[in-house]
Structure 1
Amino acid sequence: MAILALHHVQLAMPAGGEDEARAFYGALLGLAEVAKPENLARRGGCWFENGSLRVHLGVEKDFRPARKAHPAFAVDDLALLKQKIVAAGREVVSDETLEGFERFYVYDPFGNRIELIQAIV
């Protein structure tokens, strides 16, 4: 028995936040929205993908954002993405250096912490 891979990341969001999720994860971060299976769609939320990266946003009744726990998304042009995020009026948050990487954090529209990271080659 072996764990082979991470299938998806599930983040919570408040009810009715689907349009904000689409604007952030879709338009800003460039992830494609995919249809949720019919039996799960009635719960609300939305799913996004890019290749093997899958991010599921699910509605949580007593929603509280994940301010510390977070996914880290590897990107191919961190500087360009940072410019795009700042131009969209979102704050980027720097942290201590991590050897071999450039990185920063941004918070989604619901306050969930997202790390964006690029290997230094």
Structure 2
Amino acid sequence: MKGILALLLVALFLLPACSPGAGEGGLLEKKQVLNMNPDADYVELENGEVYTHGAEWVYEKSLTKGAKIAEVEKGMASDLPVGTILYESKEIPAILISEYDGKTKRYHLAMGE
């Protein structure tokens, strides 16, 4: 009986650690991104993947537009206007390239560290 109780206690402490976030690996959800940065510039796709803007290294890469991924709809992005076209980059699929009003912004897939 003590062994079962000990196993349950261990499980209670380990299960919460399985959710990705700061300091952990895996894809981040919008809620996690906003917990880490309430002012985050993000895009959330229909499949739940969240991409964030602001990493300098994304602009250091030479990237070209690939396939059209989505068009921004209401509530999908924090800073992009509705109608913005999102493209996957050919070189790094985890980077989206957005285009609107002659402007281009890049977003990278939000992942835990």
Q: TM-score range by the shorter chain?
A: under 0.3
- Larger strand proportion, structure 1 or 2? 1
- Larger helix proportion, structure 1 or 2? 2
**What TM-score, normalized by structure 1, do the two folds share?**
0.26
